């Protein structure tokens, strides 16, 4: 119901925060893999 009332930001900001968190964890994981496994040089 809050989406109809113009309160879309209640669901947009948590969604954006989730996207940023997932993207940053993905980047950190890639960097850790590169550091810990030197055989996978790109």
- The reported pTM is 0.67
Q: CB–CB of 40/34 below 8 Å?
A: yes
pLDDT at 8: 77
Residue 6 pLDDT > 80, yes or no? no
CA distance 35 to 19: 24
* Summary mean pLDDT of the chain: 87
Tokens 């968190």, residue located: 21
DSSP-assigned letters across all residues of 9-39: HHHHHHHHHHHHHHHHHHHHHHHHHHHH-TT
């Amino acid at each position: 119901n809050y989406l109809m009332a113009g309160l879309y930001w209640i669901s947009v900001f948590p969604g954006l925060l989730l996207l940023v968190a997932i993207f940053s964890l993905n980047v950190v994981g890639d960097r850790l893999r590169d550091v810990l496994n030197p055989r996978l040089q790109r």
